[in-house]
Amino acid sequence: MSFLSIDHVGVAVTDLEVSVPWWTRFLEKEPFMQGTWIAADVEDYVGKIVGYPNCDMSGAFWALPGGSVLEMLQYHNPPPGRVDMATYNAGNTHLCLETEDIHRDYERMRDHAVFVSPEPVRCAWGRYEGALTCYLRDPDDISIELIQFADGGRPFEVESPFVNPYG
- pLDDT single digits (tens) 68-120: 999 999 999 999 999 999 999 998 999 999 999 999 999 999 999 999 988 99
| End-to-end CA, the chain | 22
**Structural fold of domain 8-77:** 2,3-Dihydroxybiphenyl 1,2-Dioxygenase; domain 1 (3.10.180)
Strand partners, 145: 96, 135
What average pLDDT does the segment 113-131 reach? 93
pLDDT band at 163 (very low <50, low <70, confident <90, very high): low
Q: Tell me what the pLDDT averaged over the chain comes to.
A: 91
pLDDT band at 66 (very low <50, low <70, confident <90, very high): confident
pLDDT number for residue 161: 61
C-alpha to C-alpha distance for 95 and 142, rounded to whole angstroms: 9
CATH code, residues 83-167: 3.10.180.10
